[in-house]
Amino acid sequence: MKNFKRIISLMMVIVLALSLAACGGGNTNQPAQNQPAADPGKPEYSFTLAMDSPENTVTYLFAEKFATLVKEKSAGKMEVQIFANGQLGSDREIAESVQQGNIDFVTQNTAPQVNFVPQLGVFDMAKVFPDAATARKVLDGPFFDTIAAQYEKAGFKLLGYVDQGFRQMTTNKKVESFADFKGQKIRTMENPNHVAFWSALGANPTPMAWGEVYIGLQQKTIDAQENPYEVIVANKIYEQQKYVINTNHILHLISLITNPAKFNSLSPEYQKIITDSVAEAKVWANQQADERIDGRVKIMQENGVEIVELPAEVHAQMQEKAEAAYELIRGKVGAELVDGLLKAVEAAK
């Protein structure tokens, strides 16, 4: 049924694109200024933006703000239609679609993009960012251009990053010392870099599809999982877990990407509207992420979850183990990227 819905949604997108092309307003293969005048009652461009995330997330809020700003700044000449909840496919499928030019924009976490841009494994370096403020400085600086060049090689244009806070551990076995990680069967994404990190902590990482996690916790086939507060609350993980351990291990980055050929086909004026809208939406979305954390903590506490702050020495031990796992990532993405990120972080502190 889910695949059927995706097919119907994609057919709707194709029909929309064809109808716009027929009236001369949706052809992205030629610059906007060379196109015939569009129907005054319709926008010159109607873009599609897809995500696998639900509406009540920073991912969606970022996309929604971007769409609003594009329409405002273009005086209605450009509009962005948002398809959330995997309507146009899974994370991997929508990334492929934007790469092929069938979807115009995608907002999603960087983890599934490693399949297309292996160099994004650099963001799997656990404990590399001391806090979100430092990370945002890094990602607004020269390192952004370095990583954007890797996207370009893979057929994507990176427009910007926001974050959804750090990934945290939830568990039914309280963690207060480094030794408490040992043996905990924690669900991770199917990402070898994440598996290596949790193995280094002495845990028992267990890759598992996200759709199986709630039942896995309920049936106690896994002890724990890790995600940002937004995801924990949106999926009611607090119903099956007693503790949230503030491990602050990996920043949950959300990217906004597009197809380079489509972007380059727009007039400089329209390109600027898009980039300006992204820049403004980024600041707003990060503010929302910060403000929403307190609310998410309150929801979990109201549901009987205990929030555990780890001692500084435990974070230091985690950092030491994480750095040992960096070598695996260095071998995959190259020393230049790993060292470049480490230097950028030091400069931003």
Break the chain into its structural domains and give their ranges: 2-116+155-164+252-293, 168-251+299-348
Please state the rounded mean pLDDT for residues 89-102: 94
- Cα–Cα distance between 41 and 43 in angstroms, integer? 7
Are 2-116+155-164+252-293 and 168-251+299-348 in the same CATH fold? Answer: yes
Per the DSSP assignment, residues forming a β-bridge with 49 are: 82, 105
- Cα–Cα distance between 55 and 211 in angstroms, integer? 17
pLDDT for position 112 = 85
Q: Is the pTM for the entire model greater than 0.85?
A: no
pLDDT for position 41 = 66
pLDDT value at 83 more than 50: yes
Tell me the CATH number for domain 168-251+299-348. Answer: 3.40.190.170
129: helix, coil or strand?
A: coil
pLDDT for position 328 = 87
Please state the rounded mean pLDDT for residues 299-325: 95
Fold of 2-116+155-164+252-293: D-Maltodextrin-Binding Protein; domain 2 (3.40.190)
Four-residue CA torsion sign, 139, 145, 147, 148: positive
- Cα–Cα distance between 173 and 207 in angstroms, integer? 19
Please state the rounded mean pLDDT for residues 212-218: 96
Contacts of residue 179, Cβ cutoff 8 Å, sequence gap at least 6: 202
- Cα–Cα distance between 214 and 102 in angstroms, integer? 33
What amino acid occupies position 102? Answer: N
Query: If we measure between CA atoms, which residue out of 257, 254, 258 comes closest to residue 286?
Result: 254
pLDDT value at 115 more than 90: no
pLDDT for position 311 = 97
pLDDT value at 23 more than 70: no
Say if CB 188 and CB 259 are below 8 A apart.
Answer: no
Ranges 22-26, 154-158, 192-196, 301-305: which has the least confidence: 22-26
pLDDT for position 29 = 35
Please state the rounded mean pLDDT for residues 149-161: 97
235: helix, coil or strand?
A: coil
- Cα–Cα distance between 42 and 44 in angstroms, integer? 7
